[in-house]
Structure 1
Amino acid sequence: MSEQNMNTDEEQITVTLTMEDDEEIDCAVLTTYSANGREYIALLPLNEEGESEDGDVYLYRYEEVDGEPTLGNIEDDDEYDIAADAFDEWMDEQEFEEL
Structure 2
Amino acid sequence: MSSLDGVRADAALDAAALGAPALAAVRDGGAYVTARPDAVPAAGRGVRVAAVQVHPDGERLAELVALVDGGVLTTRVADTYPLAEVAEAHARLAEGGLRGRLVLVP
TM-score (norm 1): 0.20
Which structure's residues are more often strand, by fraction? 1
Q: Which has the higher helix share?
A: 2
Which structure has the bigger radius of gyration?
A: 2
TM-score normalized with structure 2 length = 0.19
